[in-house]
Amino acid sequence: MPFSSRILGKYLGLIQPPLPAGENPEEVATEDWASMIPEMKGKTRLVSVTPELEGERYGDGIGFPAVTPWSVGVFMEDLELDFGVANPNNPLTA
């Protein structure tokens, strides 16, 4: 089934805060926030997944939550991923 992330609008938006300067000259600081909305296009299909986990969970429930993964997922083939150009000073209005 064809899929485009445009139907999700700003839900997949990425926001980058200003970056501090680093120790090296090429690690230049920024003063502005920037945002972008990546676009994904491709063919999707539902797949059945059988995780082979000991105890059928990730995590121990103490140091990391005990998570039982779903047995269904989405597979995308022929994926085109475009991050576009960041939009400075105006988060998620790209």
pLDDT tens digit sequence for 2-51? 888 888 877 878 888 888 999 998 888 888 888 888 888 999 999 987 76
Sheet of 72-82: strand order equals 2-4, 39-48, 72-82
Query: pTM for the full model?
Result: 0.51
Q: Are 44 and 7 in contact, with CB atoms under 8 Å apart?
A: no
Angle at 90 between CA 87 and CA 94, to 5 degrees: 50
Question: Can you tell me the mean pLDDT for 59-81?
Answer: 84
